Structure 1
Amino acid sequence: MKKLLALLFSLCLAAAAHAAADPDRYLLTVATLQKMEAVNKDLSKLKISKKSDEDDDDNQSVEEFAKKLDADPRVKAALAKNGMTSMDFSLATYAMFAAGMHLMFESSMDKKKGAALYASYPKERQANIELLRKNPQFMAKK
């Protein structure tokens, strides 16, 4: 019986490790946003050209984005220099995008529907929205 329980436990752990990463459950912090800002600054210095005809970035999963980051040693080095992995950066990017989209359209939403939408989000996404609301300096700059 103990062996069976140990086997089931290890299978659960393995399944959790292989489960798709969910940016809606990724909790941003100011430290993470600062690291992302530093990575983006380093990446802008690299002047990596984007080949839009090769990739369909619109439907890219978190894992696909992380793999794309890992494919370029210069990007991996910039991430490592700033204490991030490709998966951290990918999850944080998607989480920040989702929170930022809510903030961007919030003022144009019906207040009641906007509140219902906000309430439907996981608590991590709500926290990310509040973090960006309090730290607008991390929102995308043009």
Structure 2
Amino acid sequence: MLSALSPNDPLLSNPFSAAFDGGYTPWDCPEFFLAPKPVTKPVTSSTGSDDPDQTHAKEKPDSDYSNRGVTIVEERKRRRMVSNRESARRSRMRKQRHLENLRNQLNLFRVENRELNTQLQILLNHCDRVRTENNWLRSERTLLCQKLSNISQFMAFE
């Protein structure tokens, strides 16, 4: 099969031959790779027909295949973008629910803290009343002990 092709056949031509003519390789000339690619214009039919369906009938399957490939890639990108947006939306919703739960918990803790402070104040007031009453009872006991001592001394003299 290869023997049927002539050495001058364009299918066998080297696309890099222009870069190697001066003895340089593409690695020696990085601008070869960095240079902008020439813009190619679509080839039109030279038959004089204005029917666009007749132009490049042979290239249509390739362009349809490449369009399908691009379409598939674009569809995958679109689906991934939609999926990412949905995932981000769910993440924001979770974060919002979490923050709302934290706010509710904060409010509950504030209410509980207020109630505990109120109970603490009540207990401190009660403790002060008991301490005051205890001091009063001690002083009354001291007075009663003195009266008893005086009465005992009075009885001892009689």
Q: Do Structure 1 and Structure 2 share a fold, with TM-score over 0.5?
A: no
> Which structure ranks higher in relative contact order (CA pairs < 8 Å, sequence separation ≥ 6)?
1
**TM-score, normalisation: structure 1:** 0.19
Larger gyration radius, structure 1 or structure 2: 2
**TM-score, normalisation: structure 2:** 0.18
